[in-house]
Amino acid sequence: METKASIENAASPAEGEAKAPSRAWTDFANALKTDNPVLRLVLGLCPTLAVSTSVQNALGMSAAVLFVLLGSNTVVSLLRNVIPAQVRIPAYIVVIASFVTIADLGIAALSTELYDALGIFIPLIVVNCIILGRAEAFAGKNPVGRSIADGMGMGIGFAWALVLLGGVREMLGSGTVLGFPVFDSVMVPVLGMRYVPMIAFVLPAGAFIILGFMVAYFNYLTLGPKKAETGHSH
């Protein structure tokens, strides 16, 4: 990742040109690594928990969120000098809602199965705090290139957290990953028995518990093992 960034820097020696891509790259990397919306900022929990019952649903939701995030960040950034500060939140919401409507109709046209699986959580992308949060905190203040980079990083950061959670839940709860029976393919020939799925992990209860441990592990990584060893809450 970092080597690619340095290559990009070296490739465009002209002063003005060199700054823009590397800056956008830093925004992208920051959004991806240090500010993961789900695991670090604990935002956008409703769709994260509700649709991560399988990897496929997680991928579908991530694609929809990435699309809306890129669209809204681009438009909000383009209009940032036109929208009066007092009415910026309603304006952002209308922009976001328009992209959500496009995504809603698009998914309905492409795959009925995915549309039914995601259900009410497609229109609810409107109130996903990640998207409004980025419009307010980033796109409303920064040029288009950087806003797109930020949207890309946030969207992919959301996606990998969602796919990871979906993978764990599908594996434990149904014994499969993307429909492939991971446990049975080993257990049936070796032990001669089938994996018994722990259904609780597909249900809401399992989602809360697994995400709780994922966030805790991410905290552990960022806090550093030493600091994390002896914790005492006040």
Partner 1 sequence: MAAELALIVLSTVLVNNFVLSKMLGLCPFVGVTKNVENSMGMGMAVIFVIFLASVSGWFVNKFVLVPFNITFLRTVVFILLIAALVQLVETVMRKSFPALYKALGIYLPLITTNCVVLGAVILIMNREYGFFQTITYGIGVPVGFYLALFIISHIREQLAMAKIAKPLQGAPITLITTGLLALAFMGFSGLVRE
Residue numbers of the site for partner 1 (CB under 8 A)? 42-46, 49-50, 89-90, 93-94, 97-98, 100-101, 104-105, 120, 123-124, 126-129, 132, 200, 203-209, 211-213, 215-217, 219-220, 223, 227-234
Burial-class residue 165 by CB neighbours within 10 Å (0-12, 13-18, 19+): buried
For the bound state, the minimum distance from the C-beta of residue 216 to partner 1, rounded and expressed in Å, comes to 4
Min dist. Cβ of residue 148 to partner 1 (A)? 23
**159 or 211: CB nearest partner 1:** 211
Interacting residues of 99 by C-beta distance below 8 A, sequence separation 6+: 67, 68, 71, 72, 75
Specify the residue, 139 or 149, whose C-beta has the smaller distance to partner 1: 139
- In the complex, minimum distance from the CB of residue 93 to partner 1, in angstroms, rounded to a whole number: 6
**Strand, helix or coil at 55?**
helix
- Nearest approach, Cβ of 39 to partner 1 (angstroms)? 10
Structure tokens that stand for 211 in this block:
């995400």
- Our CB check for partner 1 shows the closer of 4 and 227 to be 227
**Cβ proximity to partner 1, 75 vs 149, nearer residue:** 75
- 3-state DSSP assignment of residue 17: helix
Helix (H) or strand (E) holding 51: helix 45-51
Burial class (CB in 10 A: 0-12, 13-18, 19+), 78: middle
Q: Are 150 and 27 in contact (CB under 8 A)?
A: yes
Looking at the Cβ atoms of 188 and 216, the one nearer to partner 1 is 216
Identify which of residues 1 and 232 has a Cβ nearer to partner 1 in the complex: 232
DSSP-assigned beta bridge partners for residue 180: 177
CA distance 180 to 110: 23
Shortest distance in whole angstroms from residue 223 CB to partner 1: 6
Least Cβ distance, residue 72 to partner 1 (angstroms): 13
Nearer to partner 1, 81 or 230 (CB): 230
d(CA 225, CA 215): 15
CA–CA separation, 199 and 202 (whole Å): 6
- Least separation, in Å, of the C-beta of 120 and partner 1? 6
- The answer to whether 39 and 101 are in contact (CB under 8 A) is no
